[in-house]
């Protein structure tokens, strides 16, 4: 970080309107743009923090899978039992704390084998305190948790992409996760895990990074109007006011634009737009932001295969 900040300052030039303690303030501002926590790791922390409340149910599935995988003979017997029942045999893996989405994937692979797996474990494992290791209640909780974790899996996959920029997607997924947690608050089977998950969410994402906001606003489908709508929806979901933050982002973005304009405005060149084939974001997510069905103000233009040459947008265009 100590090497990146001087390079960034030399690229944009010094602050045109320095304040008191300018070096310290510029350093903190640049750190906010250059240094970000891994979003996928934060999602994993949120999920793990909530799953601690249902550890006893998940441990039953882990014990059952470990029992099956610990003997080649049992693996072969289960393989033959699946063939007899007309089910395609497969092996099941355990989840791990250090692997993203591993609990979701463990349940996703296991639940389709609910009947065969339960019967086989009940016949071979024996009873635990007079009850089968995997009861109907265990499977009910497992199905509910798997369904609940689906959105976290999708966000992790999308934000792990390497062939498209992921920073413009951050506010989309923060909003989706916040609305998902808010919508499930009344579910009696999930209430115990939602409170700690929401606390962990607020710890990391209540204060939104300027980098995420800049990247979202510079998406031509979003601009300042879309950003304002996102903050309103997020405020409704988590109960945090973002009016001051909106003003701050707009001021900082204009300030950053003016730095580019002062240093590179004279050599700005017109060049054809480069429309990517995939943005890593489903089109229907814009419907939540703009209130339409999967469309944004610029969606017709985005659907075209070619477009005329365009210039770098002016500051006034960000608000249109």
Cβ contact 166:280 at 8 Å: yes
Whole-Å CA distances, 113 to 108, 120, 187: 10, 10, 26
Does position 305 have pLDDT exceeding 70, yes or no?
no
C-alpha span between 74 and 173 (Å, rounded) = 42
Length of the chain: 320
C-alpha span between 229 and 231 (Å, rounded) = 5
Instruction: Give the start-end residues of each E strand in 72-145.
Output: 127-128, 131-132
Cβ contact 262:13 at 8 Å: yes
- The two three-digit tokens of residue 44, written as one number: 């994993």
Q: What is the pLDDT of residue 262?
A: 83
- Could you tell me which residues are beta bridge partners of residue 131? 128
Burial per residue of 268-297, b for 16 or more beta-carbon CB atoms within 10 angstroms, e otherwise:
eeeeeeeeeeebbbeeeebebbbeeeeebb
Q: What is the pLDDT of residue 112?
A: 94
- The two three-digit tokens of residue 223, written as one number: 């601009």
Cβ contact 30:256 at 8 Å: no
C-alpha span between 298 and 145 (Å, rounded) = 37
Q: For 15-47, how does the pLDDT look when each residue is reduced to its tens digit (9 = 90+)? A: 444 444 445 455 555 555 666 888 999 999 999
C-alpha span between 184 and 191 (Å, rounded) = 8
Does position 317 have pLDDT exceeding 80, yes or no?
no
Q: Is 188 exposed, middle or buried (0-12, 13-18, 19+ CB in 10 A)?
A: exposed
Q: What is the DSSP letter of 220?
A: T
Q: Is residue 239 classed as helix, strand or coil in its secondary structure?
A: coil
Q: What values do phi and psi take at 279, rounded to 5?
A: -100, -5
* Locus of tokens 């932001």: 289
C-alpha span between 183 and 192 (Å, rounded) = 14
- The two three-digit tokens of residue 266, written as one number: 């004279």
Q: What is the pLDDT of residue 26?
A: 53
Q: What is the pLDDT of residue 300?
A: 36
Q: What is the DSSP letter of 277?
A: S
Contacts of 238 (CB under 8 A, 6+ apart): 178, 182, 198, 201, 202, 206
C-alpha span between 200 and 42 (Å, rounded) = 9
Q: For 244-284, how does the pLDDT look when each residue is reduced to its tens digit (9 = 90+)? A: 999 999 998 998 888 888 887 776 655 555 555 555 556 55
Name the pTM for this structure: 0.77
Mean pLDDT is lowest, of 3-7, 165-169, 228-232, for 3-7
Does position 233 have pLDDT exceeding 60, yes or no?
yes
């Amino acid at each position: 970080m100590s090497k990146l900040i001087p390079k960034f300052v030399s690229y944009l030039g010094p602050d045109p309107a320095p304040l008191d303690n300018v070096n310290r303030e510029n350093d903190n501002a640049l750190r906010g743009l250059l240094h970000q926590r891994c979003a996928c790791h934060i999602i994993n922390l949120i999920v793990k923090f909530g799953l601690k409340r249902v550890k006893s149910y998940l441990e039953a599935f882990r014990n059952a899978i470990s029992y099956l995988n610990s003997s080649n003979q049992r693996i072969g017997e289960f393989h033959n039992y699946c063939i007899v029942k007309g089910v395609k045999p497969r092996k099941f893996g355990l989840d791990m704390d250090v692997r993203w989405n591993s609990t979701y994937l463990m349940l996703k692979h296991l639940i389709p084998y609910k009947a065969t797996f339960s019967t086989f474990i009940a016949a071979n494992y024996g009873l635990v305190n007079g009850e089968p290791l995997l009861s109907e209640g265990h499977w009910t909780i497992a199905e509910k948790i798997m369904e609940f974790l689906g959105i976290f899996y999708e966000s992790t996959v999308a934000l792990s992409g390497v062939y498209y920029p992921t920073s413009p997607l951050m506010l989309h997924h923060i909003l989706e996760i916040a609305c998902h947690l808010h919508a499930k608050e009344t579910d009696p089977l999930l209430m115990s895990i939602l409170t700690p998950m929401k606390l962990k969410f607020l710890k990391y994402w209540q204060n939104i990074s300027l980098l995420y906001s800049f990247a979202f606003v510079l998406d031509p489908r979003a601009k300042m109007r879309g950003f304002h709508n996102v903050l309103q929806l997020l405020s409704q979901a988590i109960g945090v006011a973002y009016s001051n933050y909106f003003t701050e982002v707009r001021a900082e973005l204009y300030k950053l634009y003016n730095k580019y304009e002062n240093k590179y405005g004279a050599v700005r060149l017109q060049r054809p737009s480069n429309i990517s084939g995939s943005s890593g974001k489903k089109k229907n997510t814009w419907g939540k932001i703009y209130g339409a069905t999967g469309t944004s103000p610029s969606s017709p233009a985005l659907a075209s295969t070619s477009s005329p040459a365009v210039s770098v947008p002016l500051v006034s265009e960000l608000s249109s």
